[in-house]
Structure formats: structure tokens, C-alpha cells
Chain A
Amino acid sequence: MNDLSSPSHAAHIDLDKTDQAIIDLLRQDGRMPYRAIARALDVAENTVRARVRRMEESGTMRVVAVTDIEAAGYDMLLAIGVQVEGRSPEAVARELAAIAEVFSVNLVVGAQDIEILVVAQDQAALNKLISDKLGAIPGVRRLTPALALEVLKNQPDWVPFHAA
């Protein structure tokens, strides 16, 4: 992902080089022992422990399990543009976000009002999801879907925590 940790952002988040180095190591192996991190960065183990705790408690970083969507039982992934009519896009987006299969929701500007990423177990489940759930939300005028035939890369390292 593009590097957003430029100086102009430092004031807002206040991550120093050590914090960033810890995050980089934990991205590669979320269960790397504190002692091994300390050794790799040449700092005290207590420092690593305190830094991780501070970043977790401030809601800046989390160490989590990401499950492959196919292993989770979903064989289809789609990117769907949503056009909204007669209702605020934000209200529609909040309703979309409440649906488990809709795993990403982003308000956008342009031809679409909302961009979502959704998963479905199979074609029948997808059909139901689109007509009965997404299409039935008040304010949803039109859904413009694209099916992912192959995902070559997917590293959602930067995400909002509040709705996940």
C-alpha cells in the first residue's frame, strides 16, 4: 500500500521508527515472540511489549487472523458499484455494512455513490444476496457488479477498525 506515514501524518498518529519496525515484523508474522522482535530491532523486550500494548490500546494496530475467503466457504468475490436515489448514500452504506457478506464499504464520488466488495458461497447464494438483500435496501437504485475471476493480490493492511 502507498506509504502514508509521511511527516504530515506524524502529528496525528505519533508512530516512531521503532513502532513502524514492530508493525512491519508483525505483518510478516503476527505471532513473532516479543523476545525475537527485541533481538531483531536491538531494543529491550519490555520496550517491545510496551509499544505493542500502546498501539493496541490506542486503536492504532491489531494483530489478527485473516481467513482466506475460499477456505471460509466463499467461492465468489465481486466488486459492486451502488447508485443511490432518494436517500443519503451514508445511510445506505451503513445498512450495507451490516450485512456479513459485504466485507468492504466505501463512499465514493463519481458515477457510483458507494463501492462495495462482497463474497458469496455460490451462484444461488449470490442471486439471493443481490436481489433479496442488497437490492431490497431502500435508496438502492442500481447495482453494477463485476466478478473477480482471479485475485492476484489482496493485502488489506490498512482498514478502519470501527465497523470490522
Chain B
Amino acid sequence: MLLKKRKREEPDINGSSMADIAFLLLIFFLVTTTINVDTGIGLVLPPPLEDDQEPPPIKERNLMNILVNAEGRILMDDEPKQISDVKPSLIEFIKNPTNDPELAETPDLAIVSIKTQRQTPYKIYVNMLDEVMGAYKDLRDEASRANYGVPYGALQDQSPQQEQVKDMYPKKISIAEGGDN
């Protein structure tokens, strides 16, 4: 009886913990929300050729021609390949560990040319580009680990170390215009 009476005298809710609840909610949303980060495959286009300008001469052995047709079939230097074989054979082409006269002279001279048809779906093209990027990533990782003991991604941006690894394996990718052949 006594207890009941006291309760009625002070009916307000203890609001001091409201701030804590607000902060908890705030932190909850901060943690759970992923802010949309743009991700993608970066590429630098070559400058357009002047009309009277000849393309620079490239030795045939330094050039890896990758042809992708609209069905997603791949030819690498006239050899049919599966998409899963692209990466290992690219790495072999760029590094040329056995000094094969057919493969690139030195890694920094190697050029990868991707040629697709106009009808090729974008998805197939990106898959192809992804493989090429993967090959270069592996090579750069390997070089970076051998020289500095850390993967390439751990090197600081624009540091001399990163530049050196970049110079060892420059990404020279040519996106050829979609011919119909």
C-alpha cells in the first residue's frame, strides 16, 4: 500500500539513458552501413594516332595478341585457349623464364593486345581484361615480395619502391578496335 502511493508521486521516466541509446543507434548504423565505394578496372587509354603518324614499330615477339570473339572463344597468338589458361600463359610470356625467342625479350617490353569483335558482350571483354590484370598483379606481387618482402598492395602509393616494381612490369595493354574478323 505504501509502495503504491510513492510510485504515484513521481511518475516521470528516467531519461538519462536516452543519450546512450541514441549513441548506440548511431554507432550501430555507422558500423553496419557500407558507403558505396566505386571499384573497377583502371586503364589509361593511349593518345589517338595522328593521321600521318605510323604506329611505333613493335617486335612481333614482344606482342601478345589476344583475340576474343563474340562467343567468348579466345586465341592467344593464334592458339586457342581456355579463359583459365590465359593468366598462366600470360605470366610465362611476360617473364619468359626460359628465354624462349618466341616470347617477350624483357618483361618491360611486353605488350598485351586485346582484340574483340564489336558484337562481343561487355562481360566477356571484362573477364578477359580481368585475367590480364590478374597476371600483372601476380607478377608485381612476386617482384615486390622478392625485393621488399611485402605484397605490391602494401607498398606506399608513389613511393620509389612502388615505382620500381611498376617499371619492372609496366602494364602495356592495347585495346584494339573491334574488327569484324
Pair from one complex:
no
